[in-house]
Structure 1
Amino acid sequence: MNSTAVARIDRLLYTPEEAAEVLSFGRSTVYELMATGELKFVKRGRSRRIKRCHLEEFVNALEAQSC
């Protein structure tokens, strides 16, 4: 392995902005989905984070709706 290679770290938590980028949605859309409960999140103090598994659940639910 090359000494300059950076190990990829799989994220467990995403900020709403990072989740928007992953989903290819706008930031406002992600906040709306969180507010309506369509996208689950965890809150610690004033910070909101979205678990990777909740992003996957949301996408899988979209697939089910489109069929």
Structure 2
Amino acid sequence: MRLDEQRSKAAQDEVILPITVRIPAAIRMTGIGRSKLYQLIARGEIDMAKIGTATLITVESLQRLVERNRR
């Protein structure tokens, strides 16, 4: 395999993890309901960004939420 083919394959195999997700994905990821998610956003417990019409939730803030509430 040529070097440029190897680099191309390596780039295709690279997994890029999202830093934000939309509301439906955040609900699926956490298992909490839509209303509860919006309550947590309003209380500042979950970080969000509004870009155009998209409401994006940071994956990091979802992970922190779960860690804070672990037992």
TM-score (norm 2): 0.66
SS in 1 for 2:47: coil
Give ranges in structure 2 of 5+ residues lacking alignment.
1-12
1:1-67 matches, cutoff 5 A: 9-63=16-70, 66=71
Deviation at 1:46, TM superposition (A): 3.0
Gapped runs of 5+ residues in structure 1? 1-6
* Structure ranking higher in helix proportion: 2
Q: Which of these two proteins has the greater Rg computed from alpha carbons? A: 2
- Matched residue, 1:4: none
Q: Calculate the TM-score normalised by the size of structure 1.
A: 0.69
Aligned-residue Cα RMSD (Å) equals 1.8
How many Å separate the matches in 2 of 1:34 and 1:21?
Answer: 16
**Which aligned segments of 4 or more residues in structure 1 are displaced greater than 6 angstroms?**
none
How many residues get paired? 58
